Amino acid sequence: MRRAENKKVLIISAPSGAGKSTLVSYLLSSGMPLLFSVSATSRKPRGNEADGREYYFITAGEFRRRIKRDEFIEWQEVYRNHYYGTLRQEIDRIRREGRIPLFDVDVQGGINLKKIFGHHALSIFVMPPSVEELGRRLMLRGTDSPEKIAMRVEKAASEILLAEHFDTIIINDNLEKACIAVANVVREFIDRP
């Protein structure tokens, strides 16, 4: 017997450096029926990022053209000429595979997606133990200049104030415990009728 179309979506958001991507990787390897929703961005690839895997990398001009054609379910300009968004066709692709889209998005994107999907969405905010620890993690990552890190830390301080807009807050002060906590919350959501 075929199940009714599953309209559930999972949204995971956090300030940069809070450990969101690590928790997302853990969930994707957990055997749950989740599939990573690849966002589109106008920023340049970092390190070993590949088009179509971490992001769909498009120019700012192409991004704006797609906005005009209403190809995004949500989008925002996070930094000047650095757009991020969720393509409608990406959600369709995941649902055709019978899976639940997992969105790894910035904080404002998470709030926007929750408004769009309402009770069909579980939104999780990954909270760093402190803003200072977040800055330390970003320095250890070694991908950004000190100026860029300072900008990210400042933005994180304001994003943390938005955590109350999410269904669940996971404090990532111990990675193993955070992985178990996020998996438990997600399993409960998936098992709900």
**Over 60: is that where the pLDDT of 92 sits?**
yes
User: Is 71:88 a contact under the CB 8 Å cutoff?
Assistant: yes
* Per-residue pLDDT at 6: 73
* Per-residue pLDDT at 46: 87
User: How many domains are there within the chain?
Assistant: 1
Residue 137 lies in a domain: yes
Long-range (24+ apart) CB contacts under 8 A made by 158-161 are 159/14, 159/15, 159/106, 159/107, 160/15, 160/127, 160/128, 160/131
Could you read off the pLDDT of 27-70 as tens digits, one per residue?
A: 999 999 999 999 999 999 988 999 999 999 999 999 999 999 99
Q: Residue 28 sits in a domain of what CATH number? A: 3.40.50.300
d(CA 139, CA 135): 6
Residue 1 lies in a domain: no
Mean pLDDT rounded to a whole number for the chain:
92
Which residues contact residue 99 at a Cβ distance below 8 angstroms, ignoring those fewer than 6 apart? 33, 34, 35
How does DSSP classify residue 50?
-
Residue 4 lies in a domain: no
176 membership: H or E segment, kind and range: helix 175-191
Residue 71 lies in a domain: yes
pTM for the complete prediction?
A: 0.86
Could you read off the pLDDT of 123-159 as tens digits, one per residue?
A: 999 999 888 888 888 888 878 888 988 988 898 899 9
How does DSSP classify residue 144?
S
